[in-house]
Amino acid sequence: MSRSGLYVILLSLFLFSCKDKPKHLPFLQLETTERVVDGKTVIDSTFRTIPAFKLLNQDSAVVTEKNFDGTIYVADFFFTSCPTICPTMHRNLLKVYQKYKGNPEVKLASHTIDVKYDTPSRMKAYATKLGVEGTQWEYLWGSRDEIYALAERNYLVAAQEDKNAPGGFVHQGYLVLVDKEKRIRGAYDGTQDKEVEQLMKDMDVLLAEY
């Protein structure tokens, strides 16, 4: 075999292996700081993580960040009477639930932003109507301040009351992917089928990291 022929084979194998190799998901909240050590500038990188929280789920059981230890999970913010994007978001998120149902390494976390109306029992009825069983998909309720702080400061999802908006609230329809160390690794438009398909592909990539 000629040297050029061998080169073509090796190049083909290299490209094939690179194509099949899972990509590494980025960190969306990577923060860098600079400090001077012995006259040299040193850059430190840190990853922001989802902080401790204490909420109630659809069974009125207390749920904290520890309930998500050892799992990757998808978080979103919604309200059960939403007349706009929420029904589409949760039809799409149901696809995620069905794909990973029974997988102990995967959870979902839907936080209501209508804390007055969406009591745990009302969210239980909502979950049952969707066909959700158990607590792999947690529907979470808490005080207004805690929920809104989690949305905007930690999951980076805008959510606010607006009496002029349909349903009385304005919020974004992102599905936020969080890894086992509570770091955000992706955000996807939950109203778009292609985005949700990409979310599931990225979840597989993330699971393969562990």
Show pLDDT as tens, one digit a residue, over the chain (210 residues).
443 343 333 333 333 333 444 578 998 877 666 777 777 777 767 788 999 999 999 999 999 999 999 999 999 999 999 999 999 999 999 999 999 999 999 999 999 999 999 999 999 999 999 999 999 999 999 999 999 999 999 999 998 887 887 788 888 999 999 999 999 999 999 999 999 999 999 999 999 999
Check if CATH label 3.90.1010.10 holds for domain 49-209.
no
Q: Where are the domains of the chain?
A: 49-209
Place of tokens 């509570």: 182
The pLDDT assigned to 13 comes to 33
* Token digits of residue 58: 């659809």
* Token digits of residue 19: 């194509």
Residue 171 is labelled as binding a ligand:
yes
The pLDDT assigned to 140 comes to 98
Query: Where does 21-119 have alpha helices with state H?
Result: 86-100
Place of tokens 């001077």: 36
The pLDDT assigned to 9 comes to 31
Residue 24 is labelled as binding a ligand:
no
Distance CA 210, CA 197 (A): 21
Distance CA 195, CA 206 (A): 16
The pLDDT assigned to 17 comes to 35
The pLDDT assigned to 55 comes to 98
Distance CA 130, CA 60 (A): 18
* Token digits of residue 160: 């606010």
The pLDDT assigned to 48 comes to 87
The pLDDT assigned to 6 comes to 31
The pLDDT assigned to 2 comes to 40
Place of tokens 């292996």: 17
Which residues touch 185 (CB under 8 Å, ≥6 apart)? 25, 26, 27, 28, 177, 178, 179, 202, 206
Mapped onto helix, strand or coil, the DSSP state of residue 150 is: helix
Residues belonging to the chain: 210
The pLDDT assigned to 204 comes to 98
Distance CA 206, CA 155 (A): 18
Distance CA 126, CA 152 (A): 24
Query: What predicted TM-score, i.e. pTM, was given to this entire model?
Result: 0.83
